[in-house]
Amino acid sequence: MSAFLRSLGVRHPLVQAPMSGSNTPALVAAVSAAGGLGSLGAGYLEPQALLDQAAEIRAATDQPFALNLFVLPDEVAIDEAQVEAIRRRLDALMASEGLAVRTGRPARWAPRFSDQLAALREVRPAVASFAFDVLGRAQVRELQASGIRVVGTGTSVAEARAWAERGADAVCVQGAEAGGHRGTFLHAAEDAMIGLFALVPLTVAALDIPVIAAGGIMNGRGMRAAELLGADASQLGTAFLACPESAAAAAWKRDLQQAQEHRIGTIYSFSGRAARGLRNRFVDAMQPFADELPPYPVLNALTAPLRRAAATAGRGDLLSEWCGQGASLVRPMPAAELVRVLMEEYAAAGCTVA
C-alpha cells in the first residue's frame, strides 16, 4: 500500500494519469471517489477554465485529487518562416483528406504558465504534478506551504534526482512505454526512452522520496509488478481512455482496441514534442516533413483546429491518438468500475487492498 497516497487519504496505490485534452472533471472525480487519485491534466487550460474544472471536481467528490501543469516559458519564440511553411503543409493535407478546416494564428500559442500556477495555488489541490521541466525551489516550497504535495515527472534517474533536489514530495517516472507527451527535460527525447521496469528500480535505488511508476501499466498485475520493483504507486492513463467519462473521441476509443503494438511509437508531428501514440494516416503523411516542424507549443496550437475537425468527422486516422504501449488491453467500462477491477486484480496478485 502506498504510504505517500495513504498520507493524503487516498485508499488505493493508483493514480489516474493527467491526460491533458482527453480527461474530464467527471473522470477525475470518479477515480478519486472510487479510492484512487484522480488527476486533471490542465496543461492546455486557461486559468479560469482551470478554476472552473476544479470546482466541478469538488462538486462531484470530497476526495483528494491532483492537478497537472506543463512547466513552460511564459513567452514563446517564433520562427515566422517555419510557421508559414508548416501551415501550408497542414492545409494541403487537410484539403487532400476532404476536411474544410484550415490553420490559423491563435491569440496565444499556449496559456501562460505563471498564470496557470497562480490559479493552481488558488485551487489548492491535494497534489500538484508537473512535466516538461522542473520548478524552482522557492516555487516548490510555496506550494508545500499551502498544503499542496508536489510531484515531478522524470524520464531518467537524472531527471528524477533533479526533482528530488528541488524538494519534491515524490517523483513519477515515465517509462518509454508511456502514452502521450514525454516529460523529458534534461536529455534529447530519444536518449531517455528507458523501459519502466528498468527505470523504477534504478530510481528507487538513487532517491529517498516515493517513486510512482508510469508507462504501459494496464491492469492490477502490472501495478503489483511495479510495486515489487520498489514503486510506491502506479499511474495509469491509457487504461482510462476508453471509459465513458474520458473526452477521447469515439474514433480514438475504437482505434485503441484495435491497436497493433508495432504501430505505436514516438510522434512529433502533432505537437512538435515527443509523444507516444498510434502511427496513423496523419503521422505517415507528415513524416517526409519531419525536419520542418516547429517546436511545442507552436505546432500543437497550429494542429489543434485540424484535430478538432477530424474528431467531429470521425477521422481517427487524422487525430493525435495518444496511447501507451499496451493500448489494445483497454477495457471500456465506467471509471469507478475499472478502479474496482484493477484493485481486485492487484489483490489477486498478492497484495492486500486497504
> What is the predicted pLDDT for the residue at 309?
96
Cβ neighbours for 320, distance < 8 A, ≥ 6 positions apart:
267, 270, 271, 275, 277, 282, 303, 307
- Of 315, 307, 202, which Cα lies nearest the Cα of 255? 315
Burial 292-321, CB ≥16 within 10 A → b, else e: ebbebbbbbbbbbbbbebbbebebbbbbbb
Classified as helix, coil or strand, 151 is strand
> What is the predicted pLDDT for the residue at 353?
45
Indicate the CATH number of 1-72+111-230 among 3.40.190.80, 2.40.50.140, 3.20.20.70, 3.40.50.620: 3.20.20.70
Classified as helix, coil or strand, 290 is helix
pLDDT in tens, the chain (354 residues): 589 999 999 999 999 999 999 999 999 999 999 999 999 999 999 999 999 999 999 999 999 999 999 999 999 999 999 999 999 999 999 999 999 999 999 989 999 999 999 999 999 999 999 999 999 999 999 999 999 999 999 999 999 999 999 999 999 999 999 999 999 999 999 999 999 999 999 999 999 999 999 999 999 999 999 999 999 999 999 999 999 999 999 999 999 999 999 999 999 999 999 999 999 999 999 999 999 999 999 999 999 999 999 999 999 999 999 999 999 999 999 999 999 999 999 999 985 544
Q: How far is CA 199 from the centre of its chain?
A: 18
Confidence (pTM): 0.96
The span from the CA of 29 to the CA of 88, in Å, is 41
Domain extent listing, the chain = 1-72+111-230, 76-109+246-333
